[in-house]
Amino acid sequence: MIVNGSQQQNIDIADRAFQYGDGCFTTMAFRNGHLELFEAHIERLKWACRRLFIEFDKWSKLKDCILDSIKSSNEIVVKVMITRGSGGRGYHPEGAVNPRFIITHHPLPTHYSDWQRKGISVTTSPIELALQPLLAGIKHLNRLEQVLIKQALAKTPFDDAIVCDTRQQVVESSMGNLFWYNKDVWYTADLSGAGVEGVMRNLVLDVMQQIGQEVLIVKQGIHTLFSAQEIFVCNALMKLVPITSVFDHMIQKRVSYPIKHCTQLQQHVHQAIKLKAIKV
């Protein structure tokens, strides 16, 4: 673990990340000697810090530490957290004037390449996301909803779960952002009330614009997925993964999907990732 540039095994228990989940994070992939979408991840952290009013200013040091930390590594996940630091008692952050950054490395899941080729089977989650526009989009350190979603998913035979908000509108999956295709148009969820604005989601939107593919950001219920022609989920680690079937646990209904358009889009997305990767 690297904390503010130094290798260490311990961190102050008074850090507000532990006390209140007061901070943000991102996870990036280091594959084949290349750090993928590095600048996009840094920009996402900067955006989150602005939204949370965390006055972190050691961006050059953070970037250097990330790059230095992976020079002797193989394929790994690089997780970067920024916390407000230690200070204050109670919710008010008065006195927390020295934000921290934390870098950790983790194994890169090996099954993602199979998922990209074959697709996955998913269900709908009984857990709904609360609506909170002030936090919507941010990958903050308060992830209890996602913990509950994963616990519920673990009791099923499915690879992933589609999650709605408390208005029963589609938001995302337990792992990433959703896109669905119908009649020559791709759709993805409006994240103004809940969900995470993923780095890969933004790249996919850029790629679709570049290739002239129409895509709409919408607020729609779960029923829209059952009339879709294709669906995929994406994040920065597993990239673009087709969904081959969705099972609705409420009405006991299963719908299957081909992966033709998903496969075509994968090629464009993988090429865009290569162009934006940094060789280390």
- The residue type of 157 is P
**Strand 239-248 with 120-124, pairing:** parallel
What are the distances in angstroms from CA 154 to CA 54, 103, 151, 241?
34, 28, 5, 19
pLDDT tens per residue, range 82-139:
999 998 778 998 889 999 999 999 999 999 999 999 999 999 999 999 999 999 999 9
Confidence band for 251, pLDDT divided at 50, 70 and 90: confident
Residues of the chain with CATH 3.30.470.10: 2-108
pLDDT, tens digit (0-9, with 9 covering 90-100), for 15-70: 999 999 999 999 999 998 999 999 999 999 999 999 999 999 999 999 999 999 99
Distance CA 209, CA 212 (A): 5
Q: Which two tokens stand for residue 105?
A: 């490395």
CATH homologous superfamily, domain 113-279: D-amino Acid Aminotransferase, subunit A, domain 2 (3.20.10.10)
Fold of 2-108: D-amino Acid Aminotransferase; Chain A, domain 1 (3.30.470)
Range(s) of the chain covered by CATH 3.20.10.10: 113-279
Helix (H) / strand (E) containing 233: strand 230-235
Q: What is the mean pLDDT of the chain?
A: 95
Residues β-bridged to residue 101: 82
Find tokens 């002797």 and name the residue. Answer: 72
Contact in structure between 169 and 156 (CB atoms under 8 Å): no
The residues annotated with a catalytic role in the active site are: 27, 139, 172
